[in-house]
Structure 1
Amino acid sequence: MSRICDLTGKASLVGNHVSHSNVKTKRKFHPNLQLKRFYIPEEDRWITLKVSTSAIKTINKIGITEAINRFINKGSI
């Protein structure tokens, strides 16, 4: 299961663990992804998406259909 947001395209970033002695080892920063069901009234059906919490906040603000349209036009999907 990939760690990529279905709407925004957010993915894992690579960085370093830095210890007290300043030794650097590789690590990953994973996005905060949640499995969430959304109801689309125009199609009268439910869809399940793996979205980041920031995308959930955007969906709550502007609605699921507008969010999908906005992200498609942006080119994230």
Structure 2
Amino acid sequence: MSRICDLTGKKTLVGNRVSHSNIKTKRKFYPNLQMKRFYLPEEDRWITLKVSTSAIKTINKIGITEAINRFVLKGTI
């Protein structure tokens, strides 16, 4: 199962872990993803999405249908 947000497309970033002696080793920064159910009133059904917490805040602010339209028009899906 991939760690990619279904709505925004956020995914794992790669960086360095830096020790006290300045030795750099590769590490991963994972997005904060949550499985969440949303109700679509237009279709009268529930959908389950794996979304980042920032996307959940956006959905709470503008609504699920507007968020889907906004991210689809932006081209992230």
| Structure 2 length-normalised TM | 0.99
Structure 1 CA distance, aligned partners of 2:22 and 2:11?
27
Residues 5-62 of structure 1: per-residue CA shift (max 9 Å, x gap): 0000000000000000100000000000000000000100000000000000000000
1:26 is paired with a residue of what secondary structure?
A: strand
2:69 alignment partner AA? N
Match of 2:21 in 1: 21
| Structure 1 length-normalised TM | 0.99
Q: After TM superposition, where is structure 1 displaced by more than 3 Å over at least 4 residues in a row?
A: none
Structure 1 CA distance, aligned partners of 2:22 and 2:14?
17
The gaps in structure 2 that reach 5 residues or longer are: none
2:40 alignment partner AA? I
Root mean square deviation, CA, Å: 0.3
Match of 1:76 in 2: 76
